[in-house]
């Protein structure tokens, strides 16, 4: 059983918030569900129903949590953090790669500040701890109708999934080796309410930087957190594998890979990193 101060609780989160927008939906409400199919799906539904800017949707468990590339995101009760943030605006923020990189960075910083753990970032959306995946970002954009100013309303949903405590979770063997849990490495139990409020704060700061065109700072900081750059990687894009050296990210958040056939710019896809025994993880 979780100690009560570590249990997700909206009133505690809201009292800890240091934000102006995220978690402060004007005349709206943040949501905490015991069980939900997917917090991203709920936030996308809210977007269609005129949901409020900055709404946070949380669930203690998800029955149909979604990862990238159409995968499931295992979301048992009390094992993880399942959170989505609804951001609405009429001017495009940035492309989804850049938003995903920036959001990953915000979450990494929030974990570091609240638990002292050093998180690495693997292009494009993975949060890495001790060589394994401890979390991921699923950013989704939905175009709305044209508003009264002739601009297109855009809804951005930033979904965050973090593995906190394995507890009694039964994982398939292939996942067991790849997955990490924050509380296996943290010196004390993760205060989920503090973590949510810090994520909201870091996200708000980073989205403001993106909005004001200051992505250089974000990209430079992402490079410092990267566990990707300088590594030999295998990228899987659709059916194709691309092998090469991950050199850098460009201004759009694309990964630049030096391959036998020259430089390739990856905008999407998934990468694995070559280990010292020649296999990929
Ligand atoms: C990934 O594939 O690494 C991204 C995983 C994102 C999972 C989170 S959990 C909260 C939110 N709701 C979802 O259905 N997915 C995201």
pLDDT tens digits for range 225-234: 999 999 999 9
The two structure tokens encoding residue 204: 């708000």
Residue 274 confidence (pLDDT): 87
Residue 6 confidence (pLDDT): 75
Percent of the chain residues past pLDDT 90, beyond the cut: 75
For the CA of 41, the nearest atom of ligand 1: 14
- How close is the Cα of 66 to the center of ligand 1, in Å? 5
- Work out the burial of residue 265: count CB atoms within 10 Å of its CB; fewer than 13 is exposed, 13-18 middle, 19 or more buried: exposed
- Model pTM score: 0.95
Residue 140 confidence (pLDDT): 94
* pLDDT over threshold 90, residue 223: yes
Residue 204 confidence (pLDDT): 97
211: Cα separation from own chain's centroid: 18
β strands within 90-218, DSSP E = 120-122, 126-129, 132-146, 152-163
The strand pairing partners of 2, in sequence order, are none
For the CA of 125, the nearest atom of ligand 1: 3
- How close is the Cα of 67 to the center of ligand 1, in Å? 5
> Is any atom of ligand 1 closer than 6 Å to the C-beta of 65?
yes
Residue 156 confidence (pLDDT): 93
Which H helix or E strand runs over 14? helix 10-16
d(CA 142, CA 44): 8
Residue 61 confidence (pLDDT): 97
Residue 197 confidence (pLDDT): 98
Mean pLDDT over 159-176 rounds to 91
Residue 4 confidence (pLDDT): 59
> Is any atom of ligand 1 closer than 6 Å to the C-beta of 97?
no
Residue 243 confidence (pLDDT): 94
- How close is the Cα of 230 to the center of ligand 1, in Å? 27
234: Cα separation from own chain's centroid: 22
Mean predicted lDDT score pLDDT of the chain: 92
pLDDT per position as a tens digit, 66-119: 999 899 999 999 899 999 999 987 766 678 899 999 999 999 999 999 999 999
- How close is the Cα of 173 to the center of ligand 1, in Å? 20
Higher pLDDT, 151 or 270: 270
Nearest protein CA to atom 16 of ligand 1, as residue: 159
Higher pLDDT, 281 or 45: 45
Residue 92 confidence (pLDDT): 66
- How close is the Cα of 185 to the center of ligand 1, in Å? 22
Mean pLDDT over 194-210 rounds to 97
Mean pLDDT over 204-216 rounds to 94
> Is any atom of ligand 1 closer than 6 Å to the C-beta of 139?
no
For the CA of 126, the nearest atom of ligand 1: 3
């Amino acid at each position: 059983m979780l100690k009560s101060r570590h249990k997700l609780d909206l009133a505690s989160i809201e009292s800890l918030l240091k934000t102006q927008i995220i978690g402060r939906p004007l005349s709206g409400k943040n949501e905490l569900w015991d069980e939900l199919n997917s917090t991203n799906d709920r936030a996308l539904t809210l977007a269609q129903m005129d949901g409020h800017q900055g709404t946070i949707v949380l669930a203690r468990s998800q029955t149909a949590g979604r990862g990238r590339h159409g995968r499931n995101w295992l979301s048992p009760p009390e094992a993880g953090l399942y959170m989505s943030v609804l951001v609405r605006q009429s001017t495009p923020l940035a492309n989804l790669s850049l938003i995903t990189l920036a959001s990953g960075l915000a979450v990494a910083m929030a974990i570091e500040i609240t638990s002292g753990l050093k998180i690495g970032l693997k292009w494009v959306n993975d949060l890495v701890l001790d060589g394994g995946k401890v979390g991921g970002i699923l950013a989704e954009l939905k175009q709305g109708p044209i508003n009264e100013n002739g601009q297109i309303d855009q809804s951005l949903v930033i979904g965050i999934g973090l593995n906190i405590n394995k507890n009694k979770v039964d994982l398939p063997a292939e996942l067991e080796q790849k997955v990490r849990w924050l509380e296996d490495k943290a010196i004390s139990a993760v205060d989920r309410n503090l973590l949510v409020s810090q994520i909201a704060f870091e996200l708000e700061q980073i989205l403001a930087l993106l909005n004001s065109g200051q992505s250089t700072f974000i990209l430079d900081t992402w490079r410092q957190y990267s566990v990707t750059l300088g590594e030999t990687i295998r990228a899987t894009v659709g059916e194709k594998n691309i092998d090469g050296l991950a050199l850098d990210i460009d201004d759009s958040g694309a990964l630049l890979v030096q391959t036998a056939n020259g430089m390739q710019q990856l905008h999407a896809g998934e990468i694995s990193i070559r280990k010292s025994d020649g296999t990929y993880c």
